[in-house]
Amino acid sequence: MAGLATTFGSGAMTNTINELEEAQVILVSGSNTTVTHPQVARRIFDAVDRGAKLIVIDPRKTKIARHAHIHLQIRPGTDIPLLNAIMRCILDENLIDDLFIEMRTENYLAMCDLLLRVDLNQAAEITGVAADDIAQAARMYARAQRSTICYCLGVTQHTCGTANVKSYANLAMLTGHVEQEFTGVDPLRGQYNVQGACDMGALPGGFPGYQAVADPENRKKFEEAWGCTLPENPGLTVIEMTHGGPDEKRLQAMFIMGENPMLSDPVLDRVRTSLQGLDFLVVSDIFLTETAELADVVLPAACFAEKTGTVTNSERRVQLSHKAVDPPGEARADGWIIQEISTRMGYPMQYESPREIMEEICLLTPIYGGIYHDRLHASWGLQWPCLDRNHPGTPFLHKYNFTRGFGRFEPEQHVPPVEPADNEFPFVLITGRRYHQYHTGTMTRRSVTLTRERDTSLLDMHPEDAKELGLADGCRIRVRSRRGSVPFTLHLSTQMDRGELFSDFHFHESPTNILTLADSDPEAKCPEYKCCAVAVEVDHD
């Protein structure tokens, strides 16, 4: 969001998922799409069946990479030099969109200055991708009339994640592949309704609708509506809460809803220390997670089918979700829980229904201005910005001008990973998801069917690396980093290059994020989950 907000003015998916089916070239980066977004993958494969070309940028030979016309198998953390090399080829062969650049963008000369200093052979050496493949991908993407970019957490979960996103935006603007149908830059969001959570202000620096907390006019508007005084400084990000913020002030209490940082956050030993050091911890969830086990109070929450509200998906589509069954036992909807806590802490909060809450959102949040419940009843969703009751919603962004006015080129230099492999830790570990489990396994590990398919955490290693270490497929191993060690079952795989490993983080028996590091992107504060140095040895325990 930080990268696209800087370059385009809006940090959301620019186009719709269905538009992928009519694209001529689809560039997928840092996304194991068939596993993490299978419905998106289906549309990509439908497009390929119709004749579209597929380019995949990923360190691993995933299923979607195996179906690509060009797979640029980069070394982890080298997106920026690869993209700069692609853009240098486009510039050299005059495949840029001059009119679009002149009429719709700014800071192009600074971009050119950087690109003219890019050496293709040097980029090939850094990325591990052949110069000919880089040039071929550049021509394929730039020459098509309708090219689109999809990326996921493999792009953003680096210390240079925001710079990576800006680089993909640079590529789209350089070729004019934005502001029209079947093009654009489309971040595939990592979790259910994460787009809606961000839209509604679940970020430390903004009120709902990305209205900056630091802007006194925004504060005045919300203070008048809510009858309170609001702070002018942004809050803390998740990592700053559990690993210490810039001022290092100790938090006294936390209220965690639907999140399991005791498996999902990096440097888990530090997370445990932080949570146990609180004076008071409240966790609201549908199951007793690893985080909830540390709580002073656990509030049983209703799941998605037990409450009414809205869900906003990756393509900015707001859809109405109806209550299907009553919550079990003492479980309650999130909205009820929040209102009760607020009222008992001295700020009465009483909404009669989710419809009433939505009406307040429409009043205070311009991009949601016309998204009323009665309109959602009569449709399969509305895409923001939807400014008033008569507005039809916006399938694709930036049609006539970027949200920020002009699209801004943001030249970026290569930022190497914080932890490269060395003699003591000779492997680079990449983390991600497996097909039959999801995130920290809070829900999926309670499914007998899914557990039957995958019930243990695996570490993928190239067979030649295993042979050198004297390790066999299925043996028990221990992976060690500078922060701790974790047991795994070894799985031999040729998906990665030698020297690279892959593991999931679904299983508390093998808590992978003990190994990962908390070093994060300076703008978005997103940790570098996708690249840390580790060693592998036989597990003797």
Q: How confident is the model at residue 191 (pLDDT cuts 50, 70, 90)?
A: confident
pLDDT at 180 over 80: yes
Q: How far apart are the first and last CA of the chain?
A: 43
Whether the Cβ atoms of residue 475 and residue 490 lie closer than 8 Å to each other: yes
Residue 421 lies in a domain: no
Radius of gyration of the chain (CA): 24
- Convert the pLDDT of each residue in 448-459 to its tens digit: 999 999 889 999
Asked, for residue 359, whether it belongs to a domain, the answer is yes
Between strands 25-29 and 147-151, the pairing is parallel
**Same-domain status, 365 and 475:** no
User: Taking 90 as the threshold, does the pLDDT of residue 249 lie above it?
Assistant: no
* Residue at which a domain ends, from 362, 383, 404: 383
pLDDT value of residue 533: 96
Together in a domain, 64 and 205: no
Same domain, 159 and 238: no
Model pLDDT, residue 266: 92
pLDDT digits (tens, 9 = 90+) for 421-440: 999 999 999 999 998 888 88
The helix/strand/coil state of 519 is coil
* 414 domain-assigned: no
pLDDT(530) > 80: yes
Per the domain annotation, does 413 fall within a domain? no
Please state the rounded mean pLDDT for residues 358-384. 93
Pairing of β 382-383 and β 317-321:
antiparallel
CATH of the domain at 133: 3.40.228.10
pLDDT in tens, 477-496: 999 999 999 999 999 999 99
Any domain includes 406 = no
Which residues face 520 on adjacent strands?
527
Residues β-bridged to residue 77: none
Looking at the structure, tell me whether residues 313 and 166 fall in a common domain: no
Residue 379, pLDDT score: 78
Residue 401 has pLDDT above 60, yes or no: yes
527 falls within a domain = yes
**Domain end: 188, 207, 237, which one?**
188
At 521 the pLDDT is 84
pLDDT for 389 equals 94
Q: Does the structure show a pLDDT above 60 at 409? A: yes
Residues 367 and 219 both lie in one domain:
yes
Among the candidates 172, 188, 204, a domain finishes at 188
- Three-state SS sequence of 156-204: HCCCCHHHHHHHHHHHHHHHCCCCCCCCCEEECCCCCCHHHHHHCCCCC
Task: State residue 1's pLDDT score.
Answer: 77
Task: Please report the pLDDT score of residue 413 as a whole number.
Answer: 94
Q: Same domain for 178 and 201?
A: no
Quick one: pLDDT at residue 190? 79
pLDDT for 404 equals 87
Judged against a pLDDT cut of 70, whether residue 247 lies above it is answered with: no
pLDDT of residue 251 exceeding 90, the answer is no
Q: What is the CATH number of the domain that holds 521?
A: 2.40.40.20
Mean pLDDT (whole number) for 365-381:
91
In a domain, 417, yes or no: no
User: What is the predicted pLDDT for the residue at 449?
Assistant: 93
Verify that 183 and 208 share a domain, yes or no: no
Domain containing 262: what range?
Answer: 194-383
Pair 309, 455 in one domain: no
Give me the pLDDT at residue 11, please: 86
Residue 254: CB atoms within 10 Å: 18
pLDDT tens for residues 10-53?
889 999 999 999 999 999 999 999 999 999 999 999 999 999 99
CATH of the domain at 256: 3.40.50.740
d(CA 499, CA 534): 10
User: How far is the C-alpha of 4 from the C-alpha of 402, rounded, in Å?
Assistant: 11
**Cα(45)–Cα(72) distance, rounded to whole angstroms?**
18
- pLDDT at position 454 is 86
Asked whether residue 519 carries a pLDDT value surpassing 90, the answer given is: no
Q: Among residues of the chain, what percentage have pLDDT more than 70?
A: 99
**Beta strands at 147-151 and 105-106: parallel, antiparallel or unpaired:** unpaired
Residue 37 near residue 431 (C-beta atoms within 8 A): no
Model confidence at 248, pLDDT cuts 50, 70, 90, reads low
- Are 181 and 202 part of one and the same domain? no
Find, among 58, 57, 74, the residue nearest to 126 by Cα. 74
What does the pLDDT read at residue 331?
Answer: 97
The reply to whether 201 and 184 lie within a common domain is no
CA dihedral 77→81→86→91, nearest 10 degrees, is 150
Please give the tally of structural domains in the chain.
3
* Mean pLDDT score across all residues of the chain: 93
User: Same structural domain for residues 181 and 198?
Assistant: no
Would you state the pLDDT for residue 540?
A: 76
The pTM score is 0.93
How far apart (Å, rounded) are the C-alpha atoms in residues 173 and 152?
A: 19
pLDDT in tens, 82-120: 999 999 999 999 999 999 999 999 999 999 999 999 999
In a domain? residue 451: yes
Q: Are residues 328 and 343 in the same domain?
A: yes
Crossing angle for the helix pair 216-226 and 354-364, nearest 10 degrees?
150
Q: Is the pLDDT of residue 473 over 60?
A: yes
Q: What is the pLDDT of residues 288-319, one digit of tens each?
A: 999 999 999 999 999 999 999 999 999 999 99
Kindly tell me if the per-residue pLDDT of 246 is higher than 60: no
